[in-house]
Chain A
Amino acid sequence: MTVLRRLRGDRGFLAGAVVALLMVLVAVAAPLLAAAAGQDYTTYHDNLLDSARGGVPLGRFGGLGAEHWLGVEPATGRDLFARVVYGARVSLGVAVGATLLQVLFGVLVGTAAGLGGRWADAALTRVVDLVLAVPSLVLAISLLAIVPTDWPRPLLLAAVIAILGWGGTARITRGETLSLRTRDYVAAARLSGAGRFRIARREIAPGLAAPVLTYAALLLPTNMISEAGLSFLGVGVRPPTPSWGQMLSTATTWFRADPMYVLVPGGLLFLTLLAFVLVANGLRRALDPRQSEVLR
């Protein structure tokens, strides 16, 4: 219970958690929110644009008003509120999916390396080194460019980000496993005849939870940046599906003419990233293995 108590006393963590939770809620409830605003993310509103001036929204602050709560997108007139809430789904969904995959993969490979024999360890460690050494952005762009366009893009994005980013988790898990396996309680379990799988499951896994959770919390914002980056570069989700990175990419040509269009997705991305980083840092402080060692 020390962990929870410490988290409750951590203001940074609390603020981050509230914002992060809010964003998750927004993503989950995107259709409801859009319906509440009476808008959807695909309908064009050409009548709200000043076509002669390149299609900037008419009115102040990007056409912000009672009809369109955050204004409309330049050049299309699509409702910006509906697009950012649906965009949250892609940004968060891809990041969460990629993180889960990375943790799953990294923990499996890391524990196998930590508990396996010398040869298994050497081989798996080299594989992890290889994954960490790959220029991931270049490879991600190539992978996403060659797959057929009718494959589900968000799943694909999550998979590609995960495939290129599980190395860190594997390394941390291996290190942690190596240190845990020398503990007295693990030795006791081994002496009493427990097999490797049982040791991994019953003795090692609980000890891994804290560092892996902390690392995963740090991975999540990194993965969000990856998704935004790939969408920004045009290999992310396909139109008309919105994502924050893709919106920012279009917004680069509009940042003077319609600042709202940059500020809304950019601000949300910044806020969400900050929130997740605060959560991760709070978790790390609360769960730090060295500190918990001292306390025990």
Chain B
Amino acid sequence: MRRIAPVVMAGTLLLAAGCDGSGGATSSSAAFDPATCQGGTLAVLNQGGISHLDPARLYTSGGGNIPSLLFRTLTTRNRQPGEAGAKPAPDLATDLGTPSDGARTWTYKLRDGIFFEDGTPITSADIKYGIERSFAPELPGGAPYLRDWLQDAADYQGPYKQPEGIKAIETPDDKTIVFKLRKPEGDFPYLATATQFAPVPKAKDKGVGYEAHPISSGPYMVESYQPKKSLALVRNPHWSGKIDSLRYACPDRIEVTSGLDAAVINQRLVSGAGPDADAVTTDAVVGPEQLAQLGNGGPLDKQVARGEFPATYYLAFNTKKAPFDNEKVREAISYAVNRTSVVNALGGSTVAGPSTTFLPPQKTLGHQPYDYFPAGDNGDPAKAKQALADAGVTNLTIELAHENDDSQGLGPKVAAAVQEALKQAGITVKLTAIDAATYRDVTGKPATQPGLSLQYWGADWPSGGPFLIPIFDGRQIIKAGGNFNLAQYDDPAVNAEIDAINALTDQSQAQARWGALDAKIGKLALTVPLAYEKDVYLFGKNVKNAVPDGWRGTYDLARISVK
């Protein structure tokens, strides 16, 4: 239950982003028809290199953008704009799974006519083997949920050391796979979108070397792959659109180039010279240069996709450390922050919006509006001073930890905006810059965790659970490191409510209760929510159907056409 760190995403090739669909791509998709969209070469220009291509090592939300071209999973994201896209859909399985034993057991049936790129039929054993590999210490990097959820799998060391496999995954026949969980998990169909649920043929597994050419089950297969530099994909002859209606697979060829500067990528997409007219990006959000040219009816307005990946930027208190053990001090800071300045520091109202709730505003997460420390978007220094006076605190000086660069939105720009707003309330803030590469390690270990730090949390899938559990479940306080419950908040009543909601398989019921739980915890000012994320991506002028999906907020490479 970790956040999808943008760092992780850049490193492993998954690109954060979610969606509202209201903006979307406009005129260029008008003539789009999935039946006749085939042909051409799509260029993908990215900042972050693909450092791993092994399905066991990828940390994706909804299966990722590029990985989802190669790997079909048990379920996948629905690939629709708006709220409809924030739901899972069957992929290799025939449905979203049948829960039994109070959502402790999940049973899936596989489709007919599914093959690997070499023509071998895909069986349930291949999916089981793929999951078991992701437990191997040689192949780290994937989401940690399965280790927590599966019965007696917490200490499993992968099929290389323990070939007997995981008993909690049963494959009674080639078409059936059954998961036995140690606790009810209504969100299992969401988790089954992750690349760990992609089939891996045991005969072709080369361990660490497998990622040089992972065996494809999706519409494309690897032609050439240079880690962190480039990836070329060609059509997989054994994939058929008839048994995969979600992926349109329009281009004949896809070429990914990594290691480019965001400003360069966006400039190339704007100019659209030569092959750049058929180009997209999955990780370079639009910069100020392009924002200045958007929204005025110019030609660039037809080359932009706007979505929302559910994510929150916030200030995290360590409530075990003075003065943040004092609720009034936390309230004072909640009153003092200027969310307008923070939004501007993040790139303006086109790419971020002010937020007073920990859950971002997407309905699928169960968002309920609340604002317990009303101070408007610009902050209220007078109320903050009053709260400090009530607490009997004078001349408050605090330290704020932040990353040393701005690329993830947790850098000096946002920190300076917070510093200035707190100064208006008489609070002196000293900024502590921490190297971005080790930031998570420092803040995620209670022994080294600073009292106050800038944080970001994105949804592993569009539901309230993966948003609230890692942050507020007292049983998730991890002393050894990798902790995200930075408030170190442990309330048995809240923990019990989390278990009760996890057992729900009805998403609308679960949504309402996640929202209510967020609204309840919000009163304690354990965090100061600052802003939520909006995603604006450009695409080349020949690109069609670049519609952001409701799960990730960016356009889906499996549905884009360049013909």
Contact = CB atoms under 8 A, between A and B. Distances in A.
Interface of A: 42-44, 46, 49-56, 74-77, 145, 149-150, 234, 238-240, 252-258
Contact of A46 (B292, B340, B412): B340
Contacts of A49: 344, 348
Interface in B373-424: 378, 404-405, 412-413, 415-417, 419-421, 423
Contacts, number: 97
Nearest to B413: A75
B352 to A, nearest CB: 9
Instruction: List the 5 shortest-distance A-B pairs measured between CB atoms, nearest first.
Output: A54-B288, A54-B291, A257-B292, A51-B349, A55-B344
A54 B292 contact: yes
Interface of B: 263, 287-289, 291-292, 294-295, 338, 340-341, 343-345, 347-351, 378, 404-405, 412-413, 415-417, 419-421, 423, 430-433, 435
Contacts of A54: 287-288, 291-292, 347-348, 350-351
Max count, chain B CB within 10 A of own CB: residue among A53, A253, A257: A53
A239 B431 contact: yes
B292 A75 contact: no
Contact of B289 (A44, A145, A238, A256): A256
Given A44-B417, A51-B343, A74 B288 contact: yes
A53 B292 contact: yes
A72 to B, nearest CB: 11
A238 B416 CA distance: 10
Contacts of A252: 263
17 contacts: A42-B420, A44-B420, A46-B341, A51-B343, A51-B344, A51-B348, A52-B350, A54-B292, A56-B288, A75-B345, A239-B419, A239-B431, A253-B263, A253-B289, A255-B289, A257-B288, A258-B288
Given A51-B349, A253-B263, 19 more contacts: A44-B338, A46-B344, A49-B344, A51-B344, A54-B291, A54-B347, A56-B288, A74-B288, A75-B288, A75-B348, A77-B344, A150-B430, A239-B413, A239-B415, A239-B416, A240-B419, A253-B289, A254-B288, A257-B289
Max count, chain B CB within 10 A of own CB: residue among A43, A54, A256: A54
Given A76-B341, A234-B405, A56 B349 contact: no
Contacts of B419: 239-240
A240 B400 CA distance: 14
Contacts of B341: 44, 46, 76
Which applies to chain A's interface (DSSP): helix, strand, loop or mixed? loop
Contacts of A43: 420
A253 B345 contact: no
Contacts of A44: 338, 341, 417, 420-421
Contacts of A50: 348
Nearest to A77: B344
A66 to B, nearest CB: 23
Given A51-B344, A55-B344, A238-B433, A253 B288 contact: yes
Nearest to B262: A253
B89 to A, nearest CB: 34
Contacts of A150: 430
A269 B203 CA distance: 64
Given A46-B378, A257-B292, A55 B347 contact: yes
B241 to A, nearest CB: 40
A50 B343 CA distance: 12
Given A46-B340, A257-B292, A149 B347 contact: no
A55 B288 contact: yes
Contacts of B288: 53-56, 74-75, 253-254, 257-258
A247 to B, nearest CB: 13
